[in-house]
Amino acid sequence: MTEFSRYFVKYLRMLFENIGDFFSRIWEIISHVFYYDIKEYFDLLVSSWNSFNFIDWLFELLAIVVNVAFFGFLLLRMLQLFRRYVRFAKREIEKDQLLEEIAMLNIKTAELIDEKNKIMAMKVSSMGFGGVNMGEDSFGGSLEKDGKKKEATTTSRFSKLVAVDKKYELEPGGIVMDPADMLGLPELVDRFIHFSSSQLRLYYDHKVIRTFFAGLATSKIIILEGISGTGKTSLPYAMGRFFNNPAAICSVQPSWRDRAEMIGYLNEFTKKFNETDFLKSLYETLYRDDLNFIVLDEMNLARIEYYFAEFLSIMEMPNVDEWKIDIVPDVWDSDPVHIVDGKILVPQNVWFIGTANRDDSTFTITDKVYDRAISIEMNNRAPYIDVPYTESIEMTYEYFESLCKKGIEENPLSSKSLEKLAKLDEFVADKFKITFGNRILKQIKLFVPAFVACGGDETDGLDYIVFRKIFRKFETLNIAFLKDEIAQLISLLDKLFGKNAFAESIKYLQELAKNA
């Protein structure tokens, strides 16, 4: 114990001596910098100025100005940093104080709401209404212990959707097809072209309409692209008129940032749901047996993957019974019939048709959207044709679906075409690092047979879908360094499918290389 005490006393003595030495040296440095060094600088100047001439004094003055400016700048900079730190610390303190005040206000608000509910309950009780407990909210619906609605108000929070329910109570949406309307896909293409020409004065090329119907058989999302005035919006409008079910046209706004802009949202203050025309049109399709088209006009005025993301996700699910969109978090008895557990089912008899322009006012459509959709380029107006007056038709979704399934089953891709696609996939993956994914291969196997069933050619269908799904992605590559690979790809297309058989793809690739 004695030895440890001696050791510890020596240790403390050394520690405090070192601490004292540290501070004394700091003081020594400060005194040297601000007193002794300055005195030595001045003594050096005094000892030297007797031998200075005019030029020497001029340079000495210049040196003094530079030194004063330098040290003045350092001092000013240090002051600025100190003031910035003080302001930052003050701001952080004020921020903490504001957060504390906000927390207190939230507590007070909750207390006031609770007190208001109690007052409202007492008022209702005094008016003679029985069965009202302290859990009842100010809008008349009683609450369960878990906070969900148990009983609904007499007025529904979905006024537009409830109106749809009442409409179809009186006028059921089922249809009975006329035998004369039971057409095959090629006849359906011709009939539509004749109808739009004779009744609407809208003219479309056979290939565009074949592509459109093949797209309906492949995906629930169709994108119509091209310059203004080529009939992008009028095509789904004419389709709606043709099937005696007018298309719902919803104009996309640049301000759309999420799905609430498109579907609507629940106003927590009024307890009413702000319904949109899009939601009403989607809900109405649940009552109908025919084909339905919802048009998102100028869909790339806002970012599609923002406001349409939930639809893009659910339509990837293999089980169509899971294609459900969340609308409200709770359930009221007065909610519309087809809103089940706060969700609405996206039925199979509806397609979302988007129109898109390419200019400075629009956003680029991303691969996430393109990969899930069938895009149709519409840059040319079809010529006038003189046809006899043609009537519209009524067709059930089940009948149209059976036509598509039959066409796909009877016109599968040939084994030779599949081998050629495999070789093309291997080349593109090796040279351009882009591959045919499972989703794209599945779409090709649906689109091309449906295109052939509509009266088209298998090679033309392959040319169109490969160009749209694969070669379009080349726009993101640095083509200036891939011109040789582009030339090799064109040669491979000619070798696999025949000289200029892939006309659209080759034209696109040549223009891409030329403009690089």
Residues 6 or more apart from 417 whose CB is under 8 A from it?
448, 458, 462
pLDDT at 384: 86
Provide the token pair at 309.
């993301």
Integer Cα distance of 476 and 215 in angstroms: 25
Three-class DSSP labels, 1-25: CHHHHHHHHHHHHHHHHHHHHHHHH
Q: What is the Cα–Cα distance from 252 to 385, expressed in whole angstroms? A: 33
pLDDT of residue 1: 67
E strand residue ranges, 116-256: 221-225, 248-251
Sign of CA pseudo-dihedral 423, 428, 429, 435: negative
From first to last of its 516 residues, the chain has per-residue pLDDT tens of: 677 777 777 877 888 888 888 888 887 777 776 666 777 777 777 777 777 777 877 877 888 888 888 878 888 888 888 887 777 777 777 777 777 787 777 777 777 777 766 666 565 454 444 433 333 343 334 344 344 443 444 588 999 999 999 999 888 767 888 999 999 999 999 999 999 999 999 999 999 999 999 999 999 999 999 887 778 899 999 999 999 999 999 999 998 998 999 999 998 888 899 999 999 999 999 999 999 999 999 999 999 989 999 999 999 899 999 999 999 998 999 999 999 999 999 999 999 999 998 877 788 898 889 999 999 998 888 888 888 999 999 999 999 999 999 999 999 999 999 999 999 999 999 999 998 888 999 999 999 999 999 999 999 999 999 999 999 999 888 888 899 999 999 999 999 999 989 999 999 999 988 887
Distance between first and last Cα of the chain: 88
DSSP collapsed to 3 states, 123-146: HHHHCCCCCCCCCCCCCCCCECCC
From residue 193, give the alpha-carbon distance in Å to each of 20, 214, 325.
100, 15, 35
Residue 120, pLDDT score = 62
Q: What is the structure's pLDDT at 123?
A: 53
Strand partners, 272: 267
By the 10 Å C-beta count (0-12 exposed, 13-18 middle, 19+ buried), 378 is classed as buried
**Is the entire prediction scored with pTM above 0.85?**
no
